[in-house]
Amino acid sequence: MADEEIATQAESGQDVAATNQSPGTTRRSVLQGSVAGIAVAGAMALSGCGPENEPEGEGSSPAEKAGGNAGLSTGHGITATDIQGAERVMGLAYTRAERRQVLTSIDDQIDAVIDARKLRIPLAVAPAMAFDPRLPGKDYGAQANAVKVDVVKSSLPAAEEDIAFASLTHLAHWVRTRQISSRELTELYLARIARYAPKLECFVTVTGDLARAQAAEADAEIATGSYRGPLHGIPYAMKDLMDTSGIRTTWGAVPYKDRIASTDGVVTSKLRDAGAVLLGKTTLGALAYGDIWFGGQTRNPWNIEEGSSGSSAGSASSTAAGLVGFSIGTETWGSIVEPANRCGVTGLRPTFGRVPRTGAMPLSWSMDKIGTICRSVEDTALVLAAINGFDVSDPSSLDVGFEYDGGRSARDLRVGYIPAWFEDTATDVDRAALEAARSAGLDLVEVDLPDLPYASLGQILAAESASAFEELTLSGRDDELRWQEDVSWPNYWRSARLVSAVDLVNIDRFRRQVMGVIHDLFTLVDALIGPTYGGNMGLVTNCTGQPELSFRAGFVKIPSRALFGEAPQGDGAALHRVPFGFSVWGPLFGEENVLLIGKVLDAELGAGQEHPTLKE
């Protein structure tokens, strides 16, 4: 669910290193800065470690040692020198007397934390403070559960490939009118999975027998007129962090690769009730970060020399490759939007709390969201309608209907944009998307956001994810994870343990202020459009809860990218033509606005019809 603010793309001949990136605002910079970031004196004390090379100064000078601090320590062996070392990490400066006072109480703090660690709290237990994106006293309106999309009356194509890459709206029409059976469509996708998935490394588990049984049930029901809706009989894939009873749910990580859930997650159950057919579990970067999982690295179907980004890596890759009708992804910070951008599909990250997370791997209880990855904008509305809803077992679940009318005009909406996002670091595709909005007659409004330290919000994910997977850090089992770079989970979580609880509370208070800022923005406009990596909107709206849609807006020619978008520079780097996305953000529960604008821009740009050429 958590991923990077990638800064990569440019047209052929363009410098891709700086594309859509501002120093100090990408997730990579946040991760790298966390080691030297906010830290608490007590955290250093808990480890029993002091600085190896204490500089001269208060607390370590000969004068202070003569005052008696050198020999003073607690029952846990903590000294004034340890406290001063922690101060330097923290950016504090206590006096000698203040350090001596800290020493009188630090043992009680250490004992309290040690006792808490002994509890080994189950991962499913959420914090007592549940996040609610709604501001007190604000009216967010009511929505009926009603979705209307464009009517499809097409005939089934003769070519299997045209069927495989068709939108969900078309697939649903063909299945409902019995131009193709669910069993035939399921076999078509299973054959493509067998042919292409090993090269793309996008499936952890293929559930062929289950899929055939569910497809046969769907065909029998449809034949008798018991049609459940647009997902009935449609084959799909589930990101492998949502529980499926009796089927592995591995979270993409070595420590959990043999994990089998005893019950279905709520979203799994909702899709089964909608009649969808489960083809299998798609890959994710281990514990919802990146595209490296215990079995390999998931590939971008447009350029298999690079990863598909993550963490919904397999969901985006399989949908882009025409291996499924649609897929389910999750996002904490970029995990739907970023692989959708790289693989050229449509990803919808809904409002926080819309979709219940019961049965999904928790990473950040106040940021995790479940959404969908499809091949067209309106497809995402159909899937969201099926998985939207309240569940009492998720403390942050909200009882809000989902209403979408595809016949409503987007010209009635005020569409904001931030001009600075379309300047030097934007691509030609970004600027073309803005011009497409003008050409389509959308009511464009220039807006701006105040200059605030939004990157500090990343510490919320750091602390919550470190708490969720504390056992791996404390036991040393984090060494089992394949990805062990400076910016990977193991180091990220070790660093997070040095974040001050006081500072984290203040960052959470800042989060409340930012929620007000974003709320005020959406009182001026009905939606915001911009480059997917414009500003810090990915992090900001993942913390404030607003929805985001990413869809294919065009193509760029660039070298193969690493996870964070780094690409080899120079004349020797081969260029690859790959898709490039554009984003729409909306107010809380404003998915209809987002989808209507995305639909207009998608039609105006006309970049969504092409599909990748695959090789076995």
Q: Of 159, 443, 196, 167, whose CA–CA distance to 318 is shortest?
A: 196
Question: Is-contact 192 323, C-beta < 8 A?
Answer: yes
Nearest-angstrom CA–CA distance, 331 and 67: 55
Backbone φ and ψ of 292, nearest 5°:
-95, 120
Tokens of 234: 């449609």
**Given the residues 311, 312, 495, 550, the one annotated as active site:** 311
**Given the residues 29, 308, 335, 550, the one annotated as active site:** 335
Nearest-angstrom CA–CA distance, 323 and 306: 19
Burial of residue 448 (number of CB atoms within 10 Å: 0-12, 13-18, 19+):
exposed
Backbone φ and ψ of 319, nearest 5°:
-70, -40
Q: Tell me the pairing of strands 326-331 and 369-374.
A: antiparallel
Question: Is-contact 243 362, C-beta < 8 A?
Answer: no
A 10 A CB-CB count for 540 gives 21
3-state secondary structure of 527: strand
Element (H, E) at 579: strand 576-585
Nearest-angstrom CA–CA distance, 59 and 80: 6
Nearest-angstrom CA–CA distance, 520 and 572: 48
Nearest-angstrom CA–CA distance, 302 and 12: 16
Tokens of 39: 């830290």
Q: Where are the alpha helices (DSSP H) in 347-500?
A: 377-387, 428-439, 458-468, 470-475, 489-496
Query: Would you call 311 a catalytic residue per the annotation?
Result: yes
Measured at the CA of 568, the angle between CA 563 and CA 25, to 5 degrees, comes to: 50
A 10 A CB-CB count for 169 gives 21
Query: Would you call 281 a catalytic residue per the annotation?
Result: no
Q: Of 195, 228, 135, whose CA–CA distance to 318 is shortest?
A: 195
Bridge partners (DSSP) listed for residue 580: 554
Burial of residue 93 (number of CB atoms within 10 Å: 0-12, 13-18, 19+):
exposed
Q: Of 28, 98, 30, whose CA–CA distance to 58 is shortest?
A: 98
Nearest-angstrom CA–CA distance, 194 and 198: 7
Q: Locate tokens 């990136």: which residue? A: 21
**Residue 146 identity:** A
Q: Of 73, 422, 114, 485, whose CA–CA distance to 285 is shortest?
A: 485
Tokens of 378: 């309106």
**Given the residues 34, 239, 318, 397, the one annotated as active site:** 239
Residue count of the chain: 616
Report the phi/psi class of residue 201: left, alpha or beta, with left for phi > 0 and alpha for psi in -120 to 50.
left
Residue numbers annotated as active site: 239, 311, 335
